[in-house]
Structure 1
Amino acid sequence: MPTPADNRTTARERQLDVTRDELERAVRETFSRQVAAPRPLAADPAGLAIRRAGRIRRRRALAGTALAGVATVLIGAGMVNVSGQAGPPATDTVVLGDPRGAAGRTSPDPLPTPSTGPARPVVRSTVDLVVGDVLTTTRDRQIVLTGIASVDRAQRVRDEEGWLVVSAPSAAGRTLMSVRADGTTQRLLVGAQAIVLAADGRQVAWRDGDHLSVAGLTGGKLIAVTSTPAPAAAVPAGFVGDAVLVRLDPARPGYALWRPFAGGLTTGAGRDVLAVHGTLPDGQAVGLVSAGTPRRPCLALLDPARGLAATRTACGPALDADGPGAVSADGRWLLANGRAGSSAAAALLVDLSTLDRTPVARPAGPPLTGAVSWTPAQTAWYVDGRGGLVLVRLDRVLAGEAAGSTPVTGVKPGTRIVVVADAAPAGGAG
């Protein structure tokens, strides 16, 4: 029987007696196993590629979400053209200010309207026309005027190869629209009580609330807006040079001038003025005043430097006191409604060179119903009461032949037709 001193057990005993050679072999074997086993790389290329792709996907997702949010905001503000229609990008528009007259506020307008549109009947003339809601040019081009009510007046802006269009009055007021040469339309003023344009298309005046305002027009934008308090019934009626012509009360005689950079309205000798139809090259205005015995509307030259005081008065043809009329660009002729002798009401061609004696007036065609467009060829276009076009030729009228009305074919009955006034030289009167 073994004893404790024998240091033996029945289990397999550990070999403790190891030679140096055996120890060296064991160490070499251990090192060789470690070298054979593949170690994990400190920078795993596949893992890096996978992690990088994940980060890119996350960044793209976040960027897409942000862009979608920005696009939504811009579309809501009317600043992004997503219609897919041809035309220049949208631009900011100057919109009429609050009802108290703080004009000139900048605000984005609805997206500009491209020139393309459904085909409309083509009405040929030597002047541009607005037929219903379509601007038809002398080159048979048609531009649909969306975003504006029935058109009251339109004017060409020659320097910029475009047009300015004023809507007829409505419950929402009047609108001024700019139409560019590429057919893009843009509203410049909305909600005005009255809007008038200078004959050269470089200025606009309007009434909003209890203020009159005036601004320059360039590049389809309003610049240098100036306002002044105005009498309760006063409305802008045109321009005489750089001054705004103001009718003090449409129901009564009386005009005044407002020079925006010289103060408020100047009221004085214009209290007896009944109408103003234009200006001469020397700056004097051509109008009607109450004169003669008995008192009646008489032609007069009005001096802007003296508060529209009459410098010359001539009574002869019976002219309408409050009807439309226009002076030719050379200042020689006036076309206005009236009666010559015992003839019926008609558009009269008045020779302004005869104002130093009894003015010579000749029947020129049916009565005017709106704007007159004088052309460089010394002809005049207008629309009569039946919606027909009238072309007045000086040589024929001087020969005693009055113009007739030409019905407009291909247009629905009741469609409003407006002749577009040609652009006057810079500084011309409105």
Structure 2
Amino acid sequence: MSQFPGRPDNLTDGPQRSYQVRPDELEGAVRETLSHRVALARPLSVDPAGQAIRRANRIRRRRTAAGLALAAVATVLLSAGMAQLGAETRRDGPPIVVIGDPDPTSRPVPTASIPGPAPTPTASTLLLASETLVSADGRRLVLSDVGPAERVQPLPSGHGWLVVGAPSIAGRSLWVVQDDGLVQVLLAGAGAIVLAPDSSQVAWRDGDDLLMAGVVGTQLIGSVRTPVPAAAEPVRFVGDSVLVRLDPADAGHTLWRPGAGPLPDALDRKSLNVYGRLPDGRLVGQVSTTDPDRTCLAVLTPTRQLDPVRTGCGPDLSQDGVGGVSPDGRWLLVNENSSSAGRSLLVDLLRLGPGATAVPAGPPMTGAIVWSDKSQASYLDGDGKLVRVDVGQVRAGKPASPAAVPGVPAGERPILVQGF
């Protein structure tokens, strides 16, 4: 029997609860619940807002530092007209690397002229210190206001030239001459200067050190230095390394790879001159023998000791270091010993060995040798005349003859360049 006869569902009536809640009481309960949840701090595995704030602070600090540095550089440029490039340059001597040009608007635009009769010089042109560039096919280009030059190569971009100055009491200089006529000085007061074949790097002697830097646009960047012996000079680039002759009066070279430490202790003591590079990377050079009056040709491995792998001791060679290897590595143009008849020689490197022979190629060479292809080469003789060598004709017993470059003023020596 049910305790509560009045209900069939077996539930007690219990105390009666009022479900009537006023709106202000409900709103207060919700506010209290939300306030408790907001007050509870829960750690986040990733804090995007914090990361963004920290990144912004770092960028602001870097921009502030960069702005201060640029302001300092601008102050120096405005006050001195030039700035020393990099911390690598010595501080106890005259500045070596400079950038900028005092007044580019006053620079004359280089003019190219087609070979023909030389123009009659006037009083104004006689006052210009100009240099005439000559291509292998005889075209001329006059560069003004760069001073006496010794060697010229096209810029990596092809829109101008790197000009190495002739030695003077103040040292050598390196200029950039752009197509639009702007002339900028990159180096001043330097020792020997050598350029990479593609003009992307330059090495030079500065006091007791040897330096190397990259050429980017019209600036030198990333200079690296190392101490070198008193008489050592850079000779040429071999890949990314610099071939250094320890003493111009004696045999011996080494290879310095910038960024890999100082000049190596393992040195070659036989090589006299290096004329060029074969397609496989090996070098063609001149080495000394036990007879002080006799030298030999050799193929050298591009290591620090320049170990010879093949030698030919037939021709009587000059030790002036002038020579050039054809692009395919087959031929070498080199000067004969001046005590002989005095002429250039063509050597077949494929037949280099005991009793190697050479055939007369033309008058003695000076300056650069430009190979247009594997069988055509050009150079200047001692009088500044252009000599064009055809390998086929030379091998047939017809040495090349010099020809005057039309349009070059009397007493001015042109410079042979490639690529214009």
TM-score by length of 2: 0.70
Amino acid at match of 1:349: L
Looking at structure 2, the residues matched to 118 and 224 of structure 1 have their Cα atoms a distance apart, in angstroms, of 30
Indicate the residue corresponding to 2:221 in structure 1. Answer: 223
Structure 1 position 193 matched with structure 2 position 191:
yes
Indicate the residue corresponding to 2:395 in structure 1. Answer: 398
Structure 1 position 274 matched with structure 2 position 272:
yes
Map 1:377-392 → 2, pairs under 5 A: 378-392=375-389
User: Is the 1:317–1:359 contact (alpha carbons within 8 Å) kept by the matching residues of 2?
Assistant: yes
User: Is the 1:114–1:185 contact (alpha carbons within 8 Å) kept by the matching residues of 2?
Assistant: no
Looking at structure 1, the residues matched to 110 and 310 of structure 2 have their Cα atoms a distance apart, in angstroms, of 52
Looking at structure 2, the residues matched to 314 and 109 of structure 1 have their Cα atoms a distance apart, in angstroms, of 50
Looking at structure 1, the residues matched to 236 and 93 of structure 2 have their Cα atoms a distance apart, in angstroms, of 19
Q: 1:383: how far off?
A: 1.0
Indicate the residue corresponding to 1:413 in structure 2. Answer: 410
Q: 1:121: how far off?
A: 6.4
Q: Deviations along 1:217-266, whole A, 9 cap, x unmatched?
A: 12122121100111111111111111101111112111111111211112
Q: Deviations along 1:95-121, whole A, 9 cap, x unmatched?
A: 994475898866433233677459786
Q: 1:179: how far off?
A: 2.2
SS across alignment from 1:319? coil
SS across alignment from 2:199? coil
Unaligned runs of 5+ in 1: 1-71, 80-91, 125-130, 424-430
Q: 1:310: how far off?
A: 1.4
Amino acid at match of 2:162: L
Q: 1:422: how far off?
A: 5.1
Amino acid at match of 2:281: G
Indicate the residue corresponding to 1:285 in structure 2. Answer: 283
Indicate the residue corresponding to 1:49 in structure 2. Answer: none
Q: 1:318: how far off?
A: 0.8
Distance 1:101 1:270, change over 3 A: farther
Indicate the residue corresponding to 1:154 in structure 2. Answer: 152
Indicate the residue corresponding to 1:345 in structure 2. Answer: 342
SS across alignment from 2:286? strand
Indicate the residue corresponding to 1:84 in structure 2. Answer: none
Structure 1 position 242 matched with structure 2 position 240:
yes
Looking at structure 1, the residues matched to 354 and 417 of structure 2 have their Cα atoms a distance apart, in angstroms, of 34
Indicate the residue corresponding to 1:358 in structure 2. Answer: 355
What's the RMSD between the two structures over aligned residues?
Answer: 3.4
Distance 1:320 1:165, change over 3 A: same
Q: 1:158: how far off?
A: 5.3
SS across alignment from 1:245? strand
Indicate the residue corresponding to 1:179 in structure 2. Answer: 177
Map 1:16-31 → 2, pairs under 5 A: none
Q: 2:104 aligns with which of 112, 115, 139?
A: 112
Map 1:304-383 → 2, pairs under 5 A: 304-338=302-336, 344-376=341-373, 378-383=375-380
SS across alignment from 1:371? strand
Distance 1:120 1:93, change over 3 A: farther
User: Is the 1:122–1:136 contact (alpha carbons within 8 Å) kept by the matching residues of 2?
Assistant: no
Q: 1:233 aligns with which of 224, 231, 234?
A: 231
User: Is the 1:328–1:334 contact (alpha carbons within 8 Å) kept by the matching residues of 2?
Assistant: yes
Q: Deviations along 1:245-294, whole A, 9 cap, x unmatched?
A: 11111121111111112111124352111111111111111111112667
Looking at structure 2, the residues matched to 412 and 238 of structure 1 have their Cα atoms a distance apart, in angstroms, of 31
Distance 1:98 1:339, change over 3 A: closer
Q: 1:313: how far off?
A: 1.3
Bigger radius of gyration: 1
Aligned length, in residue pairs: 333
Looking at structure 1, the residues matched to 134 and 367 of structure 2 have their Cα atoms a distance apart, in angstroms, of 18
Looking at structure 2, the residues matched to 101 and 378 of structure 1 have their Cα atoms a distance apart, in angstroms, of 47
User: Is the 2:380–2:386 contact (alpha carbons within 8 Å) kept by the matching residues of 1?
Assistant: yes
Identify which range, 189-198 or 406-415, moves more after superposition. 406-415
State, as a whole percentage, how many aligned pairs show the same letter.
Answer: 48
Q: 1:149: how far off?
A: 2.3
Q: 1:408: how far off?
A: 2.6
SS across alignment from 2:250? coil
Q: Deviations along 1:170-219, whole A, 9 cap, x unmatched?
A: 11111111222334322211110110011121111000111100011121
Map 1:93-104 → 2, pairs under 5 A: 94=85, 97-98=89-90
User: Is the 2:299–2:310 contact (alpha carbons within 8 Å) kept by the matching residues of 1?
Assistant: yes
SS across alignment from 1:276? strand
Q: 1:258 aligns with which of 256, 259, 269?
A: 256
Q: 1:359: how far off?
A: 2.6
Indicate the residue corresponding to 1:301 in structure 2. Answer: 299
